[in-house]
Amino acid sequence: MTSKDFTLHLNAQEESAPWGITEDTSFEFAFFTCKPLKGNWLRVFPRTAKDVMFLKLLNHRVDKMAPAHGHGVLIRSEMLRYTTKA
């Protein structure tokens, strides 16, 4: 296998001060709120099955978040360093 076999095709856009959907578990039932996220985030749009599998490996609400507005998935920009470029 070559490094090209592990290349992801994520269409990524940098996000400045994105808002994410978070879960508040202080109640007896699930309660979701929107909060601004700290740090460097990317909005990604997976295009292949490899992209989706990579996103499934990330910790939900830690390394990836659902955006409060728009489409795609928010991931920490540091997570892309684990991928190889062809």
Between residues 77 and 83, which one has the greater pLDDT? 77
Instruction: Please give the tally of structural domains in the chain.
Output: 1
Q: Is 15 exposed, middle or buried (0-12, 13-18, 19+ CB in 10 A)?
A: buried
Q: What is the pLDDT of residue 6?
A: 57
1 — pLDDT class (breaks 50, 70, 90) = very low
Q: Which residue segment(s) compose the domain that 11 sits in?
A: 3-82
Nearest in space to 43 (alpha carbons), one of 81, 5, 17? 17
Biggest alpha carbon–alpha carbon distance for the chain: 49
Q: What would the pLDDT profile of 4-63 be if each residue is shown by its tens digit? A: 555 778 888 999 899 999 888 777 787 889 999 999 999 999 999 999 999 999 999 899
The pTM assigned to this predicted structure is 0.81
Q: Looking at this protein, which amino acid is placed at residue 27?
A: F
